[in-house]
């Protein structure tokens, strides 16, 4: 492996950090759904709408922010994107009503939608080719790293501060903008395209021309977003409301399964470089399916913690392959847009997950085990089936 340059190291750090810090704010919300509900005198289901709106608005950001990155460069757009979601996190703390809070979360969803595509494009266009599997896992591990950070902050401080103060902490990522400005260089791939005055491919004609790949990617990302959010978003409520665990116990379990997520993402991303992307994703989905009974139906804190650890090791292990897998599927000069669009359209289709899981749990007299197990099992099976119909060969015709 060639020696890494300082710019390559700084670029990977910036990409992983921007995605992780973006996720940090998103996951702060899932820990305090019931507290926000009490503050605004509404139900958990009404506050859960904020999660739905955030996910539903992410495709807008993926399209428009990604298109800006193709036109103006990865670096300046990433800086503006990080600054925007940091400011919106702070504004969430000052929302006087649930309606305004939901409006802010819509705007946050747009900002969040842009990060993944722009940051991953900048990273993959900078790193050595032989490291793409490892960096894919490391980059996607930024998401559970953000969840892990939210778990730690929640566990350490929430008994002493208000939920609004957590969102004020969410403004700290704005300092990453200075790091990107001083230490990260623009993508050489983008620079070459600009110097050669190459036109970026119009998105709609590219989608129409390559519709089998695009449809496949959107369906796959719908399953993957149900896989991720279906095993994460309602889990704190499951631990608090069904098992009546304390703040610190919930935090410790969340910390453990997010450590597993980071390990899984890096491990399976690296493994995919050796055995192939579809094979590695199939393996992770299969073991996640096997872990469902332990994860969803255990009664002791130790077994629940063990089940959560194994589940997220596999869920995020599969996810660790997605950044490079989607990038390799798409045309070269649309990689700041199309992978992110496919990802976020999948998010849009899966954005009903949290309200759906709460509804299922309420239908079974507050039993979250049923809603967790059903979503995790169905999506794991769907992912394995999609890997059977993997259309990587189709992408070679682009």
Q: What is the pLDDT of residues 193-236, one digit of tens each?
A: 777 655 555 667 777 777 888 889 999 999 999 999 899 888 88
Please report, for the domain that includes residue 169, its CATH number: 1.20.1250.20
CA distance 349 to 103: 20
pLDDT tier at 396 (50, 70, 90 boundaries)? very low
Same domain, 300 and 216: yes
Work out the average pLDDT over 326-336.
74
Same domain, 178 and 231: no
- Structural domain for 161, as ranges: 6-196
Same domain, 138 and 240: no
| pLDDT surpasses 90 at 380 | yes
What is the model's pLDDT at position 352?
86
- Using CB atoms within 10 A of its CB, is residue 51 exposed (0-12), middle (13-18) or buried (19+)? buried
What is the model's pLDDT at position 107?
95
Does the residue 247 lie in any domain? yes
| pLDDT surpasses 50 at 1 | no
| pLDDT surpasses 90 at 379 | yes
Domain boundary among 172, 196, 220: 196
Same domain, 222 and 243: yes
What is the model's pLDDT at position 341?
80
Same domain, 44 and 189: yes
Same domain, 366 and 230: yes
Domains contained in the chain, number: 2
What is the model's pLDDT at position 397?
35
Q: How does pLDDT run across 341-361, given as a tens digit for each residue?
A: 888 889 889 888 888 898 898
| pLDDT surpasses 50 at 125 | yes
Same domain, 259 and 333: yes
Work out the average pLDDT over 233-245.
87
pLDDT tier at 374 (50, 70, 90 boundaries)? very high
Same domain, 229 and 250: yes
> What number of helices (H) and strands (E) belong to the chain?
21, 0
Q: What mean pLDDT is reported for the chain?
A: 87
Burial 270-303, CB ≥16 within 10 A → b, else e: bbbbeebbbebbbbbbbbbbebbebbbebeeeee
What is the model's pLDDT at position 38?
92
Neighbours of 362 (CB within 10 A): 14
Of 190, 170, 183, give the one whose Cα is nearest residue 82: 170
What is the model's pLDDT at position 199?
56
Q: Both tokens of residue 164?
A: 């609004």
């Amino acid at each position: 492996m060639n020696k890494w340059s300082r710019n390559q190291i700084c670029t990977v750090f910036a990409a992983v950090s921007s995605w992780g810090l973006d996720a940090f704010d998103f996951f702060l919300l899932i820990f305090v759904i019931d507290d926000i509900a009490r503050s605004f005198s509404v139900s958990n289901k009404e506050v859960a709408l904020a999660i739905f709106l955030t996910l539903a608005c992410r495709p807008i950001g993926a399209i428009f922010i990604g298109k800006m990155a193709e036109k103006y460069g990865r670096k300046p757009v990433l800086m503006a994107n990080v600054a925007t979601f940091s400011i919106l996190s702070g504004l969430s703390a000052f929302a006087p009503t649930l309606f305004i809070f939901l409006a802010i979360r819509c705007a946050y969803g747009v900002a969040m939608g842009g990060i993944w595509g722009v940051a991953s494009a900048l990273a993959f266009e900078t790193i050595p080719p032989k490291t793409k599997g490892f960096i894919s896992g490391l980059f996607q591990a930024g998401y559970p790293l953000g969840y892990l950070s939210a778990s730690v902050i929640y566990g350490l401080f929430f008994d002493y501060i208000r939920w609004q103060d957590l969102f004020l902490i969410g403004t700290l990522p704005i300092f990453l903008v200075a790091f990107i400005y001083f230490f990260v260089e623009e993508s050489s791939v983008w620079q070459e395209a600009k110097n050669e005055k190459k036109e970026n491919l119009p998105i709609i004609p590219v989608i129409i021309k390559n519709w089998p790949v695009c449809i496949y990617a959107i369906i796959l990302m719908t399953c993957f977003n149900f896989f991720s959010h279906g095993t994460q978003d309602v889990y704190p409520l499951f631990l608090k409301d069904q098992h009546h665990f304390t703040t610190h116990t919930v935090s410790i379990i969340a910390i453990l399964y997010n450590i597993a997520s980071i390990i899984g993402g890096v491990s399976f991303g690296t493994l995919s470089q050796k055995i192939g992307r579809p094979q590695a994703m199939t393996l992770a989905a299969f073991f996640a399916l096997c872990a469902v009974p332990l994860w969803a139906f255990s009664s002791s804190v130790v077994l629940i913690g063990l089940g959560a650890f194994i589940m997220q090791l596999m869920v995020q292990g599969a996810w660790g392959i997605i950044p490079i897998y989607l990038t390799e599927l798409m045309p070269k000069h649309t990689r700041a847009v199309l992978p992110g669009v496919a990802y976020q359209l999948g998010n849009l289709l899966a954005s009903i997950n949290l309200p759906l899981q709460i509804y299922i749990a309420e239908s079974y007299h507050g039993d979250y085990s049923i809603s967790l197990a059903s979503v995790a099992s169905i999506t794991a099976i769907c992912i394995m089936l999609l890997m059977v119909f993997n259309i990587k060969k189709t992408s070679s015709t682009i």
